[in-house]
Amino acid sequence: MDYTPGIWRRTDVHLENPEYHTRWFFKYFLGKVHQNYIGTDAEKNPFYLSVVLSDQNNQRVPQYRAILWRKTGTLKISLPYSPTKTLSVKSILSAMNLDRFEKGPREILNPEIQKDLLVLEEQEGSVNFKFGVLYAKDGQLTDDEMFSNETGSESFDKFINLLGDTISLQGWAGYRGGLDTKSKIWSPNTYKHTIGSAINY
């Protein structure tokens, strides 16, 4: 909603699906029993398929999660689990609109494939983020004025603490957002780590 004094106006809202942005392989597959397959589609393009039977969804019902890796990107789906019927690899691929193959999918037994798929997933979408948060005192209008502030207000400090943990950049081994971690010239930074993402402020 937009707010103009005295007037409330409804606007279109687009809700993002957080599952689409989650690193599925990192969150649901890595370190868990799962299968990885390789194949070639009808156009002779290679693909990988990763399948895991996850413990439960939000309704506490077990389900299959599958990732189809192609050069055009990934497709992620969840499929219902039935204790009386096992899903075949071809039926999972069919649910992902991949029905024709040059070479049928075969399982990859080498555990090293997990490292490769993890790197592939990391390259597909950035998982590290850097944001700048500036404090502007009353009357400050220019960047130079705001950048010259060495301290913020009590309210600003509370806000920064909500964003994450304050760290010293010197010697920091985690995500550094391109900042200098060797010298002492930087003031403390705020760092937040969530599952699969690192954010530096």
pLDDT digits (tens, 9 = 90+) for 176-194: 566 666 666 555 555 554 4
Question: What's the pLDDT score for residue 4?
Answer: 46
Confidence bin at 80 (pLDDT 50/70/90): confident
Give me the residue spans of the domains in the chain.
18-124, 128-200
Confidence bin at 36 (pLDDT 50/70/90): very high
Q: What DSSP assignment string belongs to 72-89? A: TEEEEEEEE-BTTBPPPH
CB neighbour list of residue 191: distance below 8 Å, 6 or more residues apart: 164, 165, 166, 167, 172, 174, 175, 198, 199, 200, 201
H/E run at residue 99:
none
Confidence bin at 126 (pLDDT 50/70/90): low
Q: What is the pTM of this model?
A: 0.54
CATH number, span 18-124:
3.30.1120.160
CB neighbour list of residue 120: distance below 8 Å, 6 or more residues apart: 69
CATH fold, domain 128-200, is Rossmann fold (3.40.50)
Q: What is the DSSP letter of 174?
A: S
- Contact, 62 vs 54, CB < 8 A? yes
| Res. 41: pLDDT tops 70 | yes
Q: What is the mean pLDDT of residues 77-92?
A: 86
Q: What is the mean pLDDT of residues 34-51?
A: 93
